């Protein structure tokens, strides 16, 4: 039986909900985040002084996809999984053809993050694997942003060693959520990314307007320490901690028309085509240079063990 007629999908990310919960409950996570921000500040200062080293070789990350399903429809195909890995490899190397749609004023900021994602070929015990696990769950209602999908004990699948693998869970999600990620520095028992099976990859169960794989691109951004471009406040007071993304009042949805001016950011307005906004998949197509610096700092420090 299909559940396609349930809560309609709407660009909604649970990463900041999970982030604030962890800040309140885990003092070590708060300290780790503070330390990482210090590393980011030092790296940015070195870049501005033209003293920073530029990495040439790509960062390579091994991925394990945990498919948690209650009905056959949710047990997505290998083709759908591979289509999502292909999207990540295009988007994080700025090889996506739709980057041509970036307004001319920001084309020079569109940056190759130089990250390669590959499905794992060995499991934690060293045995051959296709990089996919499949778990039949009795949870017919779906999973929220409470990390329950990340544990065998709560109907999900416990992670492989997050210091060696990017754990990516695919499942039915409640409340119209498309996904959420854990920011760097949190518990290894819950580290990774969760994606709605209707917003994963480019074929199979992927449903328009979230069928171009950009939900995973957005969530990997959070996993590598990127914030939403509006800073998660509704009054222009927030910050995504990145100087080359204009301040924005709030999330943009659908397919905005350039320029979309808020927060006194005329004439160019919001950078709504950034992967860290809430627009439809076919309306987001770029990371900026300083967003890439934040991700690289994470991969050189807090998540260094993840790089193959």
- The model carries a pTM of 0.96
Using CA of residue 267, residue 272, residue 275, residue 276, what is the dihedral sign? positive
The CA distance from 38 to 254, in Å, is 35
Annotated catalytic residue within 24, 34, 37, 219: 219
Question: What is the CB-side half-sphere exposure of residue 102 using CA atoms within 13 A?
Answer: 20
Q: What H or E segment, with its residue span, contains residue 132?
A: strand 132-136
Which of 13, 39, 22 is CA-nearest to residue 296?
A: 39
Which of 281, 308, 267 is CA-nearest to residue 101?
A: 281
Known catalytic residue at 24: no
Domains and CATH numbers, the chain: 15-306 (3.40.390.10)
Give the torsion through C-alpha atoms of 183, 186, 187, 188, to 10 deg: 60
Asked if residue 244 lies in contact with residue 289, where contact means CB atoms within 8 angstroms, the answer is yes
Strands 193-196 and 179-181, how do they pair? antiparallel
Q: What does each of the 308 residues of the chain score in pLDDT, given as a tens digit?
A: 344 446 677 788 999 899 999 999 999 999 999 999 999 999 888 876 666 666 789 999 999 999 999 999 999 999 999 999 999 999 999 999 999 999 999 999 999 999 999 999 999 999 999 999 999 999 999 999 999 999 999 999 999 999 999 999 999 999 999 999 999 999 999 999 999 999 999 999 999 999 999 999 999 999 999 999 999 998 999 999 999 999 999 999 999 999 999 999 999 999 999 999 999 999 999 999 999 999 999 999 999 999 98
pLDDT at 5: 47
Which of 175, 235, 173, 224 is CA-nearest to residue 199?
A: 173
Q: Give SS3 for 186.
A: coil
Hey, what are 166's tokens?
């990017």
């Amino acid at each position: 039986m299909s559940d396609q007629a349930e809560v309609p999908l709407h660009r909604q990310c649970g990463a900041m909900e999970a982030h604030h919960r962890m800040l309140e409950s885990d003092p070590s996570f708060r300290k780790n985040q503070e330390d990482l921000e210090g590393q980011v500040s030092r790296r940015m200062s070195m870049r501005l002084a033209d003293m920073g080293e530029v990495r040439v070789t790509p960062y390579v990350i091994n991925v394990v996809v945990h498919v948690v399903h209650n009905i056959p429809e949710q047990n997505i195909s290998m083709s759908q999984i591979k289509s999502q890995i292909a999207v990540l490899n295009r988007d994080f190397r700025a090889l996506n053809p739709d980057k041509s749609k970036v307004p001319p004023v920001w084309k020079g900021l569109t940056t190759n993050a130089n990250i390669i994602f590959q499905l794992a070929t060995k499991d934690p015990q060293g045995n051959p694997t296709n990089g996919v696990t499949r778990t039949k769950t009795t949870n017919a209602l779906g999973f929220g942003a409470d990390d329950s999908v990340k544990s065998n004990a709560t109907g999900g699948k416990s992670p492989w060693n997050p210091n060696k693998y990017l754990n990516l869970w695919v499942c039915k999600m409640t409340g119209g959520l498309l996904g959420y990620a854990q920011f760097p520095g949190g518990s290894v028992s819950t580290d990774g990314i969760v994606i709605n099976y209707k917003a994963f990859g480019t074929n199979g169960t992927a449903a328009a307007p979230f069928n171009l794989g950009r939900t995973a691109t957005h969530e990997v951004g959070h996993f590598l320490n990127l914030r939403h471009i509006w800073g998660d406040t509704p009054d222009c007071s927030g910050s995504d901690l990145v100087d080359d993304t204009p301040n924005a009042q709030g999330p943009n949805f659908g397919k905005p028309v350039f320029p979309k001016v808020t927060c006194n950011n005329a004439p160019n307005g919001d950078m709504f085509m950034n992967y860290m906004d809430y627009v439809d998949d076919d309306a987001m197509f770029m990371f900026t240079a300083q967003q890439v610096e934040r991700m690289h700092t994470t991969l050189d420090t807090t998540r260094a063990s993840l790089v193959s």
